[in-house]
Structure 1
Amino acid sequence: MKILLTGATGYIGKRLLPVLVEAGHEVICSVRDIGRLNVKKYPEGQVKVVQADLLEPGSLEALPKDIDIAYYLVHSLDLSGDFSQQEKQSAQNFIHYLNATAARQLIYLGGITNVEKLSRHLSSRKVVEEELAKGQIPLTALRAGIIIGSGSASFEIIRDLVEKLPVMIAPKWLETKCQPIGIRNVVEFLSGVVGKEYTYNKHYDIYGPDLLSYKEMLMGFAQVRKLKRRIIIVPVFTPKLSSYWLYFVTSTSYTLAKNLVESMKIDVIPKQNDLTSRLSVKLLPYKKSIELAFEKIEQNLVLSRWDDATGGRIFRDGLQRHIKVPKFGVFTDKQQMEAVDAEKALQRIFAIGGRNGWYYADWLWSFRGFLDRLFGGVGLRRGRKNTDDTSAGEALDFWRVLYADKKEKRLLLYAEMKLPGEAWLEFRIDEYNVAHQIATFRPLGISGRLYWYGMLPFHVFIFKGMLSKIVK
């Protein structure tokens, strides 16, 4: 079958794509930025990438009309402001396009919405489903609650809380109930309903076998990791305070934390159905999902992370607009040293950041990350997806990878920390085995210039030391 996959660069999309390819389908990936999806590893001709923005109807003309199945996996949870209106508009634009195609089925992954009082996030999910259902193409809607898997937002938040806090003073919403589902099961459901006519124009809650409170999920995680933890529930946590609690302790952004807290205050109890048995899906218990997640992490086989699809302005503008580093009206710090072993130096460059650190004066990097969090930035807590490789579009501490090519021996990063300007950090090794490290800063007004000169002594110290460690 010929399948259109929207949201192909997101957490779910990246997991679903290889499954569809393995099943023999031809997959058209709709992305806002072609540079963020590498499909070279798939058989030639089986995966095609098309650039389209669902908020720009004209761009959808580039998408094919001769498709059999379409997936709608677009989600805007980390957007601030009125993300619900953007999601509704995206769905309306997509349906307008889809009605003119040969598609026989539209598959959508939303959230469980079985209570009257919904959070903004879940309300938006419901509205999107309603808009998609208005189209001429039969809709199969799958509704999931908390998704557990390596790199998922829920998994990473739980991991941060449990591994960093021996004792937690926690809000009352930790007693809220839900039925978490493993990412493997989610992908099984998404791929399993393809072409199943009995699912047309129907919706199904998909869920794991365990009904748990968020407190029980935290304690269950601790048991899997063999950690002793204590949780004290207090009623004085306001939603805003809860959001700050998640923001400062975990790797999530404040906007995402706020939206999650709104949803977590509501019991997410699924409605029973027969889809699990009809598709022969073997549901994974919560603790087993955690164990499998850590297996992937330990094997360095994490396919996607929740922050793959978030990047603020850089993703709205597109990576290509930032790859060309400005040469005028900027400050630069250039370092170059001959590499003792060019191959090892290249490996260090592509492994930089995350738990590997920045090779020199890590305490200063940590302090800069702490300051960034204080001022509402992402800090260093995002880490990196894989320990020894990276690709365009991925988060890397408080940077975003713009360009990564080992054959060209080049890595280009763009700063997502709070700055009075824009910053790039580039590493490359030339044909003479000389390693080049270039930090570029485009200041915004007087404050940007003061920032650069104030940081200059630290830059000289840090950047020279970092490159010396890379080339040794």
Structure 2
Amino acid sequence: MAATRILITGATGYIGGRLTPRLVDAGHDVRVVVRNPEKLRDVPWRDSVEIVRGDLADGASLAGVFDDIDIVYYLVHAMGGSGSFADVDRVSAQNVAASAGAAGVRRIVYLGGLHPPTGDLSTHLTSRLEVGRILLDGPVAAVVFQAGVVIGSGSASFEMVRHLTDRLPVMTTPKWVHNRIQPIAIRDVLHYLESAVDVDSAINRAFDIGGPDVMEYGEMMNVYADVAGLRQRRIVVLPVLTPRLAGHWVGLVTPIPRALAMPLIESLHNDAVMHEHDIDEVVARPARGLTSYRDAVRLALRAIEDGNVETEWSGVEATGDASSDSIPSDPDWAGGTVFVDSRSGPCAADTQTLWAVVESIGGANGWYSPAWRIRGLLDRAVGGVGMRRGRPDPIRLEAGGIVDFWHVEDIDRGHGLRLRADARLPGAAWLELRVSGSRDGTSRLHLRSAFFPRGLGGRVYWWLIRPFHVLVFRRMLAGLVAAAERRASA
């Protein structure tokens, strides 16, 4: 693929933040325009792009921004509870179309929303449709992709499904829960957006895009529940539940702000399915095929869980695809709920001695707290592995190895160890042990447990065992430190 000069608007947003590094990795010259460059301070690709300041709603601020650009990605949407956002979207689209035309840009790519060909649309879908028409009627050829619910860690639509399903065994919903939805995985959205670089410059039209599954919104929730290991949710339809009331309810029981929940709920008043498949004649489907809804949920959940134990956003080892993972520009609530217990203590032994004790933990060497054996017995009682697996080597651990009902997820020998629980739990659990040194030759041990709850049962479980954790980890910390100090003085 030849290098292309690309301008991205919306690089601080959910889609733009994922698309930008993909285009950079493909060898393109990328410029991003943002109102506040500080928002990109911590993204890992900052030094690989040209960052310019500009406000799409202020035409004067765009002078020179579109110069020497081949393709513009329009990936911004105003969001809000009043009609004023539509005015901002309209003016921004007009400014982009005019500036791109004046600069000789050859293509604009826009991501809008799936909508029925006739009938009343929500205010937000109407605005998306208007933006697409402005770009298509402008002086530069445009490709408008129209997508429905995007499934990926941190996408607003997915997070609403996830939090509602996780927290509510019984859900009261408006009648739109029976409307038809055609969700699409975030990595497939990115495939279409990236492929637009090579679309014939004579094409100027909108294309529907979607995944392989068409289902009701309520079915989406229960498929999510199945993938997440939850019981099927009971859905009670209340015809009198208005979008405003539903928005307040979503804002109350999920971390998603009401101002963001409202347009999502309003958009669900219409079916969101593809009405044509002409995109297949212009852009080839991904080599792996389009991602099913079930697989998209699985990828997103794995990405979220891994992100909560400090894994890198660019490495989802289960899939080899970074596009489903959480990234710094995602909303703060993208990772969901994680419960953490952290503690540390000084050790008179040096770091090498303390690490030797840490790496030998488990199996016949024990866990330095008798409560762990009780926990192992409880796990076996409910069909888990308990403590019977032990450890293959009494001294050395390797990544991927086992230690009782844990497996070694990561090891930085001499410094840190991360274990992931294989026990029967209503969620996912990790235990981290880290060693640090002091100038006087002594050391310090850090313990951190993290629990990612699954459903309401997971949250109840955490609060029930919280007092138990305090006792277990306090004794464990003291026992490991004492063992290292005895070894050092022997």
**Residue 336 (structure 1) aligns with:** none
**Does 1:12 pair with 2:12?**
no
**Does 1:155 pair with 2:158?**
yes
Deviation sequence 1:50-78 (CA, Å, 0-9, x none): 11001111110141411111100011124
Deviation sequence 1:318-358 (CA, Å, 0-9, x none): xxxxxxxxxxxxxxxxxxxxxxxxxxxxxxxxx9x963569
**Residue 67 (structure 1) aligns with:** 69
Give the AA of the match of 2:98.
Answer: H
Identity of aligned residues (%): 39
Matched residues, number:
319
SS of 1:24's partner is coil
**Does 1:307 pair with 2:331?**
yes
Tell me how large the CA RMSD over aligned residues is.
Answer: 2.6
SS of 1:3's partner is strand
SS of 1:194's partner is helix
**Residue 398 (structure 1) aligns with:** none
Contact 2:157 2:264 in 1 (8 A): no
**Residue 338 (structure 2) aligns with:** 355
Give the AA of the match of 1:355.
Answer: V
What's the CA shift for 1:274? Answer: 3.6
Aligned mates of 2:81, 2:170 — CA distance in 1: 31
Question: Where does the alignment leave 5 or more consecutive residues of structure 2 unmatched?
Answer: 308-312, 314-325, 344-438, 440-490
Contact 1:193 1:199 in 2 (8 A): no
What's the CA shift for 1:81? Answer: 4.2
**Residue 171 (structure 1) aligns with:** 174
Q: 1:121 aligns with which of 121, 124, 130?
A: 124
Deviation sequence 1:125-179 (CA, Å, 0-9, x none): 0111111122211101100011010000011111111110111122211111110
SS of 2:198's partner is coil
> For the structure 1 residues 91 and 295, does the alpha-carbon distance in structure 2 shift closer, same or farther, using more than 3 Å as the test?
same
> For the structure 1 residues 297 and 248, does the alpha-carbon distance in structure 2 shift closer, same or farther, using more than 3 Å as the test?
same
> For the structure 1 residues 86 and 43, does the alpha-carbon distance in structure 2 shift closer, same or farther, using more than 3 Å as the test?
closer
What's the CA shift for 1:102? Answer: 2.6
What's the CA shift for 1:246? Answer: 1.3
Aligned mates of 1:144, 1:270 — CA distance in 2: 8
**Residue 428 (structure 1) aligns with:** none
Q: 2:86 aligns with which of 84, 87, 112?
A: 84
Aligned mates of 1:309, 1:58 — CA distance in 2: 35
What's the CA shift for 1:101? Answer: 1.2
Give the AA of the match of 2:178.
Answer: E
What's the CA shift for 1:275? Answer: 2.1
Contact 2:5 2:70 in 1 (8 A): yes
> For the structure 1 residues 244 and 359, does the alpha-carbon distance in structure 2 shift closer, same or farther, using more than 3 Å as the test?
farther
Aligned mates of 2:265, 2:145 — CA distance in 1: 22
**Does 1:185 pair with 2:185?**
no
What's the CA shift for 1:305? Answer: 6.2
Question: Where does the alignment leave 5 or more consecutive residues of structure 1 unmatched?
Answer: 311-350, 361-431, 433-472
Aligned mates of 1:139, 1:358 — CA distance in 2: 51
Contact 2:248 2:258 in 1 (8 A): yes
SS of 1:99's partner is helix
What's the CA shift for 1:276? Answer: 3.7
The normalised TM-score by structure 2 is: 0.61
**Residue 284 (structure 2) aligns with:** 279
**Residue 288 (structure 1) aligns with:** 295
Contact 1:140 1:199 in 2 (8 A): no
Deviation sequence 1:237-295 (CA, Å, 0-9, x none): 12222222211112222222222221111111212224246423221110100001012
Aligned mates of 1:181, 1:196 — CA distance in 2: 21
**Residue 396 (structure 2) aligns with:** none
Contact 2:33 2:51 in 1 (8 A): yes
Structure with higher Rg: it is 2
SS of 1:85's partner is helix
**Does 1:204 pair with 2:207?**
yes
What's the CA shift for 1:226? Answer: 1.3
> For the structure 1 residues 356 and 199, does the alpha-carbon distance in structure 2 shift closer, same or farther, using more than 3 Å as the test?
farther
Aligned mates of 1:306, 1:41 — CA distance in 2: 13
